[in-house]
Structure 1
Amino acid sequence: MATKKAQQNLPKSLDKTFDTSTDPSVIEEKLFGHDGEEDVDGDEPVVFICGKCKLPVGDSFSWDGSEDSQNQILLKKITDNVAVGKEKRMHQPDKRSPCLIVDLICQGCRSVIGMVYSSTPKHLDHKRFTFCLNVANIDSYVLGSAKQMLSAEGPDEQPVTLEYRGIVEQQLTEMKLMVVSMAQKLEEIESGL
């Protein structure tokens, strides 16, 4: 409880690289909606990553929907970074819907990030054998969302090429020879005094 209060008092980060929104509708909006910015090529793909160790666990190409009431996103496929548990256990999303599920476990940090329904009542058949990721346990990254770029130092700046490097090395060699020559002449002058 104390850690939640401490997290609430932390300043909001301006870095939106790994947005940890726990609302599946926000993720769905990022996938399919436009929030003020016009996309030139349409919707950008989203990579879903483990909330703890940041290993990729799936992407929007295998999107199968979301369950707002359960705070889940549904995927048809996941990466090899996720292990499907072996033990089935009882789960009740509501009082009239007992289900059998197996956990989805991140291979990197061994945390549970979701579930697979192996047995469901008829009204939940659409979730059977679908990878249901808990939004609270994953983060997402929208490909193409990076905006930071290095700026040029000035109009005369040129890229370092092999040709340019050769010219610089030649100039350095000439300067070294000149410094050695000047040092020898200085020694001759000092020895003559």
Structure 2
Amino acid sequence: MSGRRALCKDSNVTYEVTVNDGVYADSTIIKDISKQGKFVEDDDSDPPVVFFCGSCKLPVGDSLSWAGSEDEKNQILLKRVSDNVLVGEETHFSGTCKKDLGCLKVHLTCRGCSSLLGMVYISTPRKLDHIRSLFCLNVTAIESYVLGSSSQQVAAVSPKQQPVTLEYRQAVERQLDEIKAVTLSMGQRLLVLEDRIFGLVQLGCSL
């Protein structure tokens, strides 16, 4: 069985998958950013769809890499994802669903907020060949926007709903660290003042 490889037309990450033969087929996910090209899609009248992390609204993929869906598991299948999706290194044994019992998988998480987005099956029985090495995103963990659609909005209407970028998150963390440092300094000063007051009280009582 040959491996699957999707090429992206921009700087997004391409994952090249190598598959070995056997009763259980294993796949190796290789991060490849050296190859660039145009992904060929069948003619389709439907406009492209962009998928976002449901928590922080970072883009995680699009319909140009569509590979299908798993209605029973409430997942969509993509051949490639953006570099905002982190592929886990730790493998997990799938035993929660009868259909994928005995499969090995790795988790997919959002780079921006660490939310669990889905999984990649790296070892499956032959009957699940069609989903192995694809990016299986949970529908409940993502949002979508149809390009050119006026009926769907992902733009924030208030500052509280603005997408959280990595730069914004880092700035907030720096501010929190500064506030924490000031709070600790004030706490230490209060302790010194309390010790001095206590000493004065003790001195007054002894006179």
TM-score (normalizing by structure 2): 0.50
Structure 2 CA distance, aligned partners of 1:96 and 1:111? 23
One-letter amino acid matched to 2:83? D
Q: Does 1:120 align with 2:124?
A: yes
Residues 86-119 of structure 1, C-alpha deviations (whole Å, 9 max, x = no match): 0000113316731100000100000110000000
Structure 2 CA distance, aligned partners of 1:58 and 1:111? 15
User: Which residue, out of 131, 138, 141, partners 1:137?
Assistant: 141
One-letter amino acid matched to 1:87? E
Q: Does 1:76 align with 2:76?
A: no
Match of 1:54 in 2: 57
- Aligned 8 A contact 2:105 2:119 in 1: yes
Distance of aligned partners of 1:126 and 1:141 in 2 relative to their CA distance in 1, 3 Å threshold: same
Distance of aligned partners of 1:89 and 1:96 in 2 relative to their CA distance in 1, 3 Å threshold: closer
One-letter amino acid matched to 2:81? I
Structure 2 CA distance, aligned partners of 1:118 and 1:147? 38
What is the count of residue pairs matched by the alignment?
108
Match of 1:44 in 2: 47
Distance of aligned partners of 1:147 and 1:72 in 2 relative to their CA distance in 1, 3 Å threshold: closer
Structure 2 CA distance, aligned partners of 1:60 and 1:77? 10
- Aligned 8 A contact 1:97 1:121 in 2: no
Match of 1:110 in 2: 114
For residues 1-193 of structure 1, the aligned pairs below 5 Å read 42-92=45-95, 93-94=97-98, 97-146=101-150
Bigger radius of gyration, 1 or 2?
A: 1
Distance of aligned partners of 1:100 and 1:147 in 2 relative to their CA distance in 1, 3 Å threshold: closer
TM-score (normalizing by structure 1): 0.53
* Structure with more strand by fraction: 2
Distance of aligned partners of 1:141 and 1:121 in 2 relative to their CA distance in 1, 3 Å threshold: same
Q: Which runs of 5+ in 1 are unaligned?
A: 1-40, 149-193
* Structure with more helix by fraction: 1
Q: Which runs of 5+ in 2 are unaligned?
A: 1-43, 153-207
Partner SS for 1:123: helix
Partner SS for 2:64: helix
Partner SS for 1:144: coil
Distance of aligned partners of 1:68 and 1:96 in 2 relative to their CA distance in 1, 3 Å threshold: closer
CA RMSD of aligned residues (A): 1.8
Runs of 4 or more off by more than 2 Å in structure 1?
A: none
Match of 1:29 in 2: none
Residues 11-33 of structure 1, C-alpha deviations (whole Å, 9 max, x = no match): xxxxxxxxxxxxxxxxxxxxxxx
